[in-house]
Amino acid sequence: MDKKTIIITGGAGFIGSHVVRLFVDKYPDYKVINVDKLTYAGNLANLKDVEGRPNYRFVKADICDFEAMHSLMEAEHVDGIIHLAAESHVDRSIRDPFIFAKTNVLGTLSLLQAAKLYWESLPEKYEGKRFYHISTDEVYGALELTHPEGIEPPFTTKASSGEHHLAYGDTFFYETTKYSPHSPYSASKASSDHFVRAFHDTYGMPVVVTNCSNNYGPYQFPEKLIPLFINNIRHRRPLPVYGKGQNVRDWLYVEDHARAIDLIFHKGKDAETYNIGGFNEWKNIDIVRVLVRTVDRQLGRPEDEDMDLITFVKDRSGHDMRYAIDSTKLQRELGWEPSLQFEEGIEKTVRWYLENQEWMDHVTSGEYMKYYDEMYKDR
């Protein structure tokens, strides 16, 4: 394996920290640079186990700072960028769309232009370089919930192992699906995707884009459904479910996503798009019920004891009914498939949050932000 210097943006966040850890562990000859602004969702405690590694470096910086990004690429002789840094919470995007446009669109453009100028200044130009942009399934819009109780297999997609999975509609998101974003968050990601592809078409930059379904697992910021509800069940707080909880999402264990990113970064084709999904559709209300049973059981409570914590609240604006990713292209061309079924992944995830209550308390209290503000106040 050739030596490379890789920037991973948003590496202190949920998915980013898993990608950083994988690259640091798997590629000791790589220099892995974690660039993160350390906003509310960035937490260096997510990477305590690798912070002292010789092939790892953390840089506190804003991807919107073009000069800083360009200088970093020149100083570190960067060969590749894995771009995960993004504002990603739909509710926040509805309240403040400007920050999503700034970070997700202008931040991506800043990185693209910095990489372009640096790589074009080299004798080899773009040879051996790659800009990998991580996007979301939400840019595709929404799918119809045509089978409220799910389709009995066989249906359109299946894992390469041959195992079929339950689906709630006849259609899926493919790499060729037309973009139709419905929230400020998904609109900002769609725009950034277009900029990435435009830099390939206009300048010849070697890029790859992936669109992934909902992730779950350790170190996820507890504004997202699964860690929030695990913590609420533990403390017997209400579990607010939008509408009637009938919205369907495709769920993927975060370490499986990290493995896919590794594979695509090294073996994916330039200018290609790959969908990454779990073949794993669940209604929101069914996930909440599974979480209640799993948390109660792991805490030694009767499994359904906390079902009365479920409360239905007014649905949010523009709430898409169903997302479902078809990952057949990724499986067929690169041999990737999910390693965990949802039930196994949920068991591991619940156990991690219950065993790491100190991490959860630290995050929910906001104390970690005060620590970072003090540590980096002069940088």
Beta bridge partners of 215: 252
User: DSSP string covering 310-378, please?
Assistant: EEEEPPPTT--SB--B--HHHHHHH----SS-HHHHHHHHHHHHHHTHHHHHHHHHTHHHHHHHHHTTT
Q: What is the mean pLDDT of the chain?
A: 93
Taking the C-alpha atoms of residue 65 and residue 61, their distance in angstroms, rounded to an integer, is 8
For the cut 60, the answer to whether the pLDDT of residue 101 exceeds it is yes
Taking the C-alpha atoms of residue 226 and residue 278, their distance in angstroms, rounded to an integer, is 16
Residue scoring higher pLDDT (151 or 231)? 231
Taking the C-alpha atoms of residue 318 and residue 244, their distance in angstroms, rounded to an integer, is 15
Taking the C-alpha atoms of residue 137 and residue 173, their distance in angstroms, rounded to an integer, is 8
List C-alpha distances in Å: 292 to 52, 81, 170, 307: 38, 39, 30, 6
pLDDT category, 343, cuts 50, 70, 90?
confident
* Confidence at residue 317, expressed as pLDDT on a 0 to 100 scale: 86
What pLDDT digit, counting tens, does each position of 158-188 carry? 444 445 568 999 899 999 999 999 999 999 9
List C-alpha distances in Å: 268 to 15, 172, 377: 19, 22, 40
What pLDDT digit, counting tens, does each position of 223-254 carry? 899 999 999 999 999 999 999 999 999 999 99
For the cut 60, the answer to whether the pLDDT of residue 278 exceeds it is yes
Q: For residue 69, what is the enclosing H or E element?
A: helix 66-76
Beta bridge partners of 325: 173
353 neighbors 298 (Cβ within 8 angstroms)? no
Neighbours of 11 (CB within 10 A): 30
197 neighbors 271 (Cβ within 8 angstroms)? yes
Q: Are strands 5-9 and 31-36 parallel, antiparallel or unpaired?
A: parallel
* Confidence at residue 159, expressed as pLDDT on a 0 to 100 scale: 46
211 neighbors 279 (Cβ within 8 angstroms)? no
Q: Is 185 a catalytic residue?
A: yes
* List 126, 185, 253, 368, catalytic entry: 185
User: DSSP string covering 142-183, please?
Assistant: -B----TT-BPSS-S---TTS----BSSS--B-TTPPP---S
For the cut 80, the answer to whether the pLDDT of residue 345 exceeds it is yes
Q: Judge residue 363's burial from the number of C-beta atoms within 10 Å of its C-beta, 0-12 exposed, 13-18 middle, 19 or more buried.
A: buried
Taking the C-alpha atoms of residue 64 and residue 84, their distance in angstroms, rounded to an integer, is 13
Quote the percentage of the chain above a pLDDT of 70. Answer: 92
What pLDDT digit, counting tens, does each position of 299-328 carry? 999 989 999 999 999 998 889 999 999 999
What pLDDT digit, counting tens, does each position of 25-37 carry? 999 999 999 999 9
* List 137, 256, 281, 326, catalytic entry: 137
For 367-379, what is the mean pLDDT?
A: 47
For 323-347, what is the mean pLDDT?
A: 93
For 203-219, what is the mean pLDDT?
A: 98
Taking the C-alpha atoms of residue 131 and residue 133, their distance in angstroms, rounded to an integer, is 6
For the cut 90, the answer to whether the pLDDT of residue 371 exceeds it is no
Contacts of 50 (CB under 8 A, 6+ apart): 20, 21, 24, 25, 56
* Confidence at residue 366, expressed as pLDDT on a 0 to 100 scale: 67
Check: pTM over 0.75? Answer yes or no. Answer: yes
Among positive and negative, which fits the CA dihedral 183, 83, 216, 331? positive
Our CA dihedral for 147, 151, 155, 160, rounded to 10 degrees, sits at 120
* List 87, 138, 175, 306, catalytic entry: 138
For the cut 70, the answer to whether the pLDDT of residue 157 exceeds it is no
Q: Is 179 a catalytic residue?
A: no
* Confidence at residue 166, expressed as pLDDT on a 0 to 100 scale: 81
State both tokens at 283.
Answer: 């209604």
Taking the C-alpha atoms of residue 367 and residue 334, their distance in angstroms, rounded to an integer, is 42
* Confidence at residue 379, expressed as pLDDT on a 0 to 100 scale: 44
pLDDT-wise least confident of 151-160, 258-267, 350-359? 151-160
Q: Is 149 a catalytic residue?
A: no
For the cut 80, the answer to whether the pLDDT of residue 367 exceeds it is no
For the cut 80, the answer to whether the pLDDT of residue 156 exceeds it is no
pLDDT category, 154, cuts 50, 70, 90?
low
For the cut 80, the answer to whether the pLDDT of residue 58 exceeds it is yes
Q: In sequence order, which ranges of 84-224 are alpha helices (DSSP H)?
A: 90-95, 97-100, 107-120, 184-203
